[in-house]
Amino acid sequence: MHYNMEKVVEIRDLFKSFGDNHVLRGVDLDLYKGENLVVLGKSGTGKSVLIKIMVGLLPIDSGDITIFGQSIKGLKLGALNKLRLRIGFAFQHSALYDSMTVRENMEFPLTRNVKGLTRKEIDYRIDRLLNSVGLPQTANQMPSELSGGQKKRIGVARTLVLEPEIMLYDEPTAGLDPITCMEINHLINQVREEFNTSSIVITHDLTCAKVTGDRMAVLLDGQFGAVGTFDEVFHAEADPRIKSFYDYNFIQ
Ligand X SMILES: Nc1ncnc2c1ncn2[C@@H]1O[C@H](COP(=O)(O)OP(=O)(O)OP(=O)(O)O)[C@@H](O)[C@H]1O
Question: How many residues bind ligand X, per CB under 6 A?
Answer: 11
Nearer to ligand X, 21 or 99 (CB): 21
Among 13, 18, 93, 124, binds ligand X (CB under 6 A): 18
Sheet strands (E) in 34-104: 36-40, 62-67, 70-71, 87-90
Residue 195: helix, strand or coil by DSSP? helix
Long-range contacts of the stretch 126-132 (C-beta < 8 A, 24+): 126/161, 129/157, 129/160, 129/161, 130/102, 130/106, 130/157, 132/157, 132/160, 132/190, 132/191, 132/194
Nearer to ligand X, 34 or 155 (CB): 155
Site for ligand X in 20-59 (CB under 6 A): 21, 23, 41, 43-49
Minimum separation from the CB atom of position 83 to ligand X (A): 21
Residue 131: DSSP 8-state? H
Minimum separation from the CB atom of position 12 to ligand X (A): 19
Nearer to ligand X, 193 or 239 (CB): 239
Minimum separation from the CB atom of position 55 to ligand X (A): 13
Minimum separation from the CB atom of position 47 to ligand X (A): 4
Q: How many CB atoms lie within 10 A of CB 8?
A: 21
Where on the chain is the footprint of ligand X (CB under 6 A)? 18, 21, 23, 41, 43-49
